[in-house]
Structures are given as structure tokens and as C-alpha cells.
Amino acid sequence: MAPVTAAVSTLPRRAFHIGIDVGGTWIKGALIDVANGTPAGAVRRLQTPSCGSVDAVAGTMARLVTELDAGNPGATDHTVGVAIPSIVKQGVARSAANLHSGWIGLDVQSYLQSRLGRPVRVVNDADAAGLAETQYGAGAATRGVVLVLTLGTGIGSALIVDGRLVPNFELGHLEVGGFKAESRASAVVRENEGLDWVEYASRLQRYLSHVEFLFSPDLIIIGGGISACSHEFLPRLSLRSPVIAAGLENSAGVVGAALQATTGRT
């Protein structure tokens, strides 16, 4: 099916919200103008506490929000959007593949609201990236079935159909060749195993061929920090669907979290 080019959805009115993205290495945050998906100032980042506990991660988020407030005094009464690497249903975390198990079952939204002292919306990190990429980034002109994959500590995935997100699409946990996909083809696995780009592209090829067979996407967008090196592996892939690098690179999670703060339903 040929992708149809059109604006996917109506952009929200100009408004600023804080977006926070909790990753395996960094917790990033910025004040985002959700009318155009651009950060007002630099994206700030603090190291993710190594224990990954709810209390420690929430403490780091609180420091980040204080830093962002200091630079943007007008933003203190706004909803904070938080992207976490977990299945999220009605604000409750339902998994924790790369987090402390203490997150599972926690009403993260209510907990963070009391820790941060303002309204909070919580969303899966890949869903946040997918929303941002299809609203403002590499998928903004594509209708149909768009699959956004984030390659980082794990593999995140978001499916967006005609601009609407199918939440909690966990394709990083798909089993391919007897292995969980993210245990073979995440960016961190590439680093840990010292894979060169040819070896890594061949792992991605195997995974993406399977995913393409199952979902026949009109467009696949590859995000995560590794997307900055996409010239090393994208040309080695052979798929029917177009595969392109994320437009917002590594800030898609922060931007999508802020977007979710305005329109959030998870």
C-alpha cells in the first residue's frame, strides 16, 4: 500500500509543558512548546539512578523539574508528561523490563503527582516517541500504518494508524529465532557484544523482516540515540516498507511526553 501524504492530525494550540523521558542511562527533560514540538531551551539530563527504584527515580525527576522551573518560572502550574519504559494502563505501570520490579502495579501517575506537586500524565516511552515522530517528526506527512521503533537499552515500539496511537505495543519482546528481540538487537546489546555495523544490521534485518511480515507497515521509523548513526545500518537493510531515521532523534520521548500532557489518554 502506498503511503498517502497528508497532515496527520490537528496540532494543539501553543502551550508549554514539561516532558520527561526516563531511560536506562539518562532521565531527560525539557519545557516543550507543544504547538510545534520544539524545546524552549536545552534538553537537560541527569543520570538515571543505578538501582532504578521508584523512590530514587522520582527524586531525580523532582531535581530535573526544579532545574527546569528555575529557567522557566511560568511553567510551574503546568501538567508534566512523563515517559517510562513500561506498559502503562490508566497511569499504572504494568511491566518493568529495564526498571526495578517495584514499579509494577504502582499508580505512577498519582505517585508522581504527589512527589512533583502538580498534575502528571504517564505514558510508555516508545509511545511518547511514536506520538512525537508522527506529529512533528519523520512521520508527520504519512498516513496509514506507521511503526516507530526505539533502539536503546531495550527495543520500544509504537504503532500509529492514521495518526492514532495503539498504546502499549511491546514488539521488543517478540521472540525471533528463539530469542527475545531486544536481547539481540537493542543498541545497548550492540555495544555490550561489540558488534560491528554489518553484524548489527544483520540482526536488525532478521527482526525487522519478521515485524514487517506481521504488520505490513507503510513506514518504519528508527529512533533512539543510535538513529544518529543510521547511515551505518539503514543502507544495509532490505525491506519492502520504507525505513527511515527518526526526525527528532533522541528528544522524541521528551517531546511526546509533553504532548501527552495536553492530550493524554493511556
Beta bridge partners of 120: 80
Closer residue to ligand BGC, CB minimum distance, 115 or 173: 173
Give the Cα separation of 19 and 44 in Å (integer).
11
Q: Hey, what's the cell of 93?
A: 505501570
- CA 201, distance to chain mean position in Å, is 21
Of the candidates 128, 113, 131, which has an alpha carbon nearest to the alpha carbon of residue 19?
Answer: 128
Piece in contact with ligand BGC (CB under 6 A), picked from 1-9, 11-19, 95-103, 196-204: 95-103
Burial of 178 (0-12, 13-18, 19+ CB in 10 A): exposed
Q: Give residue number: closest CB to ligand BGC.
A: 154
Measure the CA–CA gap between 176 and 208, rounded to whole angstroms: 10
Instruction: For the segment 117-146, give every residue that binds ligand BGC (CB under 6 A).
Output: 124-126
* Contact between 98 and ligand BGC per CB under 6 A: yes
Q: Which residue has the cell 498519582?
A: 110
**Choice from 85, 139, 217, 256 touching ligand BGC (CB under 6 A):** 85
Smallest gap from residue 133 Cβ to ligand BGC (A): 14
Interface with ligand BGC by CB under 6 A: which range of 58-66, 91-99, 105-113, 237-245? Answer: 91-99
Q: Which is nearer to ligand BGC, 156 or 163 (CB)?
A: 156
In the bound complex, what is the minimum distance in angstroms from residue 119's beta carbon to ligand BGC? Answer: 23
DSSP single-letter state for residue 137: S
- Name the residue with cell 544483520: 202
User: In the range 139-178, which residues lie near ligand BGC by CB under 6 A?
Assistant: 150, 152, 154, 156, 170, 172
Neighbours of 134 (CB within 10 A): 29
Contact characters 20-59, ligand BGC, x per CB under 6 A: ----------------------------------------
Residue 14 DSSP code: S
Binding residues for ligand BGC, rule: CB under 6 A, are 85-87, 95, 97-98, 124-126, 150, 152, 154, 156, 170, 172, 182
